[in-house]
């Protein structure tokens, strides 16, 4: 249960009351190693939510890096040879590798050997030796994954490598949920898959949803800023979610694939706003690893996603498209350039 709490909602919704529509809300605990919640307004909401949760459970079953029966586990176990997978698993691996290439490896779905070495969230966390990190680093590299579109085959080039879609699968599940809402004619609602928020449609009357971004300080559940969104995903990655401390230093779960160690670039969190939750999920990790300067420059070029970067000094830096769109709600934080 402790792990679920640490992985639960990173963002707090401030949607307000919709007094003229009945809201149906339910939660699913466990799949994707988190707590998923869906709130829908209007008729047939209960059936639609059940369909969403069934889809989330199916995605978890097939894309889990932990379950020995998942398609992802079969890829890792078959390292050195192609493993045929379902069309959506193939497509998500393909997208993960494309984002890896675009971010020059700041996002890398082969990071699992490094993550396993640190063992965060297990209660047995430790600081590996330099030799152990070097050995784990020899088993990662997104360019060492080969795809065969004809057979939907996925190959890892050597034993010991492993795929982990944990940095993108919740976003994909969120997009899948949105597709289910659209198919069933749902008009408005909120999807929260462990902090991967999707504000679907608008509030009654056509007003956007107001989303509060969680304060990136361990043990605090308030929000430090708000923004208005409609039909957008809002996803946060932060150093406050899973971590351990030793000798006064915090070691968190967002690893830099270039070092094999937790990313250390003066950031507390990165929030990505995008139409695609899949993209937002992966880029929140990538931009955290890049750091504020590189991350903002990257988003300025990509243009289909925006970002909120929070530094250890409590400065809030925005990508160009969010300028004037974010309101600070906690006086301890300040927009960069403001006194």
36-48 per-position pLDDT tens digit? 999 999 889 999 9
Question: In this structure, what token pair is assigned to residue 68?
Answer: 């020995």
Alpha-carbon span 186 to 304, nearest angstrom: 25
Handedness of CA 154, 157, 163, 169 (dihedral sign): negative
| CATH T-level topology, domain 2-60+185-335 | T-fold (3.10.520)
Q: Rounded to whole angstroms, how far apart are CA atoms 265 and 268?
A: 9
Q: What is the pLDDT of residue 244?
A: 74
DSSP tag of 215: P
> Looking at residue 153, what is its pLDDT?
97
Q: How far apart are CA 165 and CA 281, in angstroms?
A: 10
Going from the C-alpha of 230 to that of each of 187, 208, 273, 304, the distances in angstroms are 12, 5, 11, 15
Nearest to 63 by CA among 180, 174, 164: 164
Closest Cα to residue 253, out of 108, 120, 125?
A: 120
Q: What is the pLDDT of residue 14?
A: 55
> Is the domain defined by 62-156 classed in CATH 1.10.3980.10?
yes
**Rounded Cα gap, residues 143 and 121, in angstroms:** 28
Beta strands in 44-106 (DSSP E): 83-84
Do 297 and 144 meet the contact criterion of CB atoms below 8 Å apart? no
pLDDT score at 251: 78
- CA–CA separation, 115 and 134 (whole Å): 13
pLDDT tens-digit profile, the chain (339 residues): 222 222 233 445 554 544 467 899 999 999 999 999 999 998 899 999 999 999 999 999 999 988 889 999 999 888 778 999 999 999 999 999 999 999 999 999 999 999 999 888 777 888 999 999 999 999 999 999 999 999 999 999 999 999 999 999 999 999 999 999 999 999 999 999 988 999 999 998 899 999 999 999 988 889 999 999 999 999 999 988 777 778 778 878 899 999 999 999 999 999 999 999 999 999 999 999 999 999 999 999 988 999 999 999 999 999 989 999 999 999 999 998 654
Spatial contact of 180 and 48, defined as CB atoms under 8 Å apart: yes
Distinct helix (H) and strand (E) counts, the chain: 9, 20
H/E stretch holding 236 reads strand 232-238
**Residues 223 and 329 sit within 8 Å (Cβ to Cβ):** yes
What is residue 103's DSSP assignment?
Answer: T
Q: Which pLDDT does position 120 carry in this prediction?
A: 81
- Beta strands 315-318 and 334-335 are parallel
Closest alpha carbon to 304 in 99, 142, 105: 99
Q: What is residue 338's predicted lDDT score, i.e. its pLDDT?
A: 55
- Sheet of 232-238: strand order equals 23-29, 35-41, 189-193, 196-200, 232-238, 267-274, 305-311, 315-318, 334-335
Query: What pLDDT shows up at residue 2?
Result: 26
Res 95: pLDDT: 98
Which residues belong to CATH 3.10.520.10 in the chain? 2-60+185-335
Looking at the chain, the domain(s) classified CATH 1.10.3980.10 span 62-156
- Using DSSP's 3-state secondary structure scheme, residue 238 falls into strand
């Amino acid at each position: 249960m402790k792990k679920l709490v640490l992985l639960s909602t990173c963002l707090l919704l401030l949607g307000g009351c919709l007094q003229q529509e009945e809201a149906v809300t339910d939660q699913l605990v466990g799949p994707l190693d988190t707590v998923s919640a869906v709130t829908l307004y209007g008729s047939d909401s209960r059936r639609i939510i059940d369909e969403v949760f069934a889809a989330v459970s199916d995605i978890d079953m097939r894309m889990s890096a932990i379950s020995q029966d998942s398609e992802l586990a079969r890829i890792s176990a078959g390292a050195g040879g192609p493993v045929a997978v379902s069309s959506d698993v193939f497509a998500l691996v393909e997208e993960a590798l494309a984002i890896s290439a675009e971010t020059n490896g700041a996002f890398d779905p082969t990071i699992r050997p490094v993550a396993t070495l640190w063992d965060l969230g297990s209660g047995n966390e430790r600081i590996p030796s330099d030799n152990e990190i070097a050995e784990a680093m020899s088993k990662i590299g997104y360019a060492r994954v080969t795809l065969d579109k004809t057979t939907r085959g996925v190959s890892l080039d050597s034993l010991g490598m492993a795929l982990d879609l944990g940095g993108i699968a919740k976003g994909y599940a969120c997009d899948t949920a949105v597709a289910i809402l659209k198919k069933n004619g749902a008009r408005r609602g909120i999807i929260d898959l462990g902090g991967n928020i999707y504000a679907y449609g608008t509030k009654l009357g056509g007003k956007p949803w107001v989303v509060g971004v969680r304060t990136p300080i361990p043990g605090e559940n308030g929000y430090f800023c708000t923004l208005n969104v409609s039909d957008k995903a809002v996803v946060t990655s932060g150093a406050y979610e899973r971590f351990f401390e030793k000798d006064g230093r915090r070691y968190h779960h967002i690893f830099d694939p270039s070092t094999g160690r937790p990313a250390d670039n003066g950031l507390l969190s990165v929030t990505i706003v995008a139409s695609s939750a899949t993209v937002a999920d992966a880029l929140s990790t990538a931009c955290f690893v890049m750091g504020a300067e590189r991350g903002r420059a990257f988003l300025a070029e990509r243009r289909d996603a925006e970002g909120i970067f929070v530094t250890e000094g409590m400065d809030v830096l925005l990508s160009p498209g969010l300028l004037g769109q974010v309101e600070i709600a906690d006086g301890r934080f300040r927009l960069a350039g403001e006194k």
